[in-house]
Structure 1
Amino acid sequence: MLEILEFEDTSSSVLNDRDFLIDLWLGRTQDPDWLSGSGSSYATIRSMAGVQLARGHHNRTFTVPDAVLVSIGELARRRLQDTGEDNVATLDAITTLGMIGDPSDIPLLEERALDTEDNWVLQKLLIALAISCDDQASTSIDRIAIARNQDLTKEFVADVRRTRMIKLGGLCATSQPGRKN
């Protein structure tokens, strides 16, 4: 959502401006001028700021304070558990939990993957598991691939597993002890 807004008097570099995104997330920036006329609600923009913060932290573009990461993860978890429908908020929650979720989120992502009827959401869930630094994610991917083999192409599953191996050898291998990135 932030990517597609037409910023007035604001450069798109705000997407990588950690402090600005934290201010949006924490509600310190209420209804910014560039938001007026965009058709987007502040809550939607705040949610996307959370996703951008999770992505920036996960990719080591910048660090995000633990308290902010915890609150982003909590909102993502609630959204994934509370919604019965698959929408943008659900997809944001899936992506966020893949990037910064706790080990306890892996079963939640797996359960949702086994239950969803939407193949796009199923694919997003598998990608979220592929980018997770948690060890349980590989086993979850295997279980989902077996259980949902009629809904997934062999090529997609191979891509997910390849992404997982690259991830484990890359960012996950250099993560700090005791932190999930």
Structure 2
Amino acid sequence: MLMSDVAAGDDEAFRALTQVLYAPALGTAMKVLGNRAEAEDAVQTALVKLWRTAARFDPEKAKVETWFRRIVINACIDRKRALKPVDPIDEAYDLESEAPGPEAETAGMMRDARIGAAVMELPTRQRAAITLFYGDGATMNEIAEALETTPKAVEGLLARARADLAKRLEPLKEELEA
């Protein structure tokens, strides 16, 4: 197993593990932070922590991916606390539309930007929970582990996030249903 080699200080094992973990971690971090540069920094911080704490990993308790996801989420939460607020429209997700014409494409991009902005306005833990659930397809147990909480608490985070998003996106309701 790579983690036991990493815990023993094997640089090659760490590089191999990094190749497996980096892309999914970056995707999660970008969804939580909404900014590629900040997401890259958070993942780098998480990788350093993985290297330093590899000996603590217990394969009986979690998969490496789940354990690392928790480290990434914690790094994102720490970075978010340290960041100044940014304009979420400027830092919105990569917006692509399959709309047939330029007007429809522009309308779709603006709608997606408003949705992205609404998600970015959620409190960090709610945003992390909703990102992991809908963006990464994580289970309640995986999210609970990543956020160091219980599945019941994750349900509450998701419920509050959904309610907040519904309120924020009420003006877009007709547009979203179209």
- The answer to which structure has the higher helix fraction is 2
Q: Structure 1-normalised TM-score?
A: 0.30
Q: Structure 2-normalised TM-score?
A: 0.30
Relative contact order (alpha carbons < 8 A, sep ≥ 6): 1 or 2 greater? 2
| Higher radius of gyration, 1 or 2 | 2
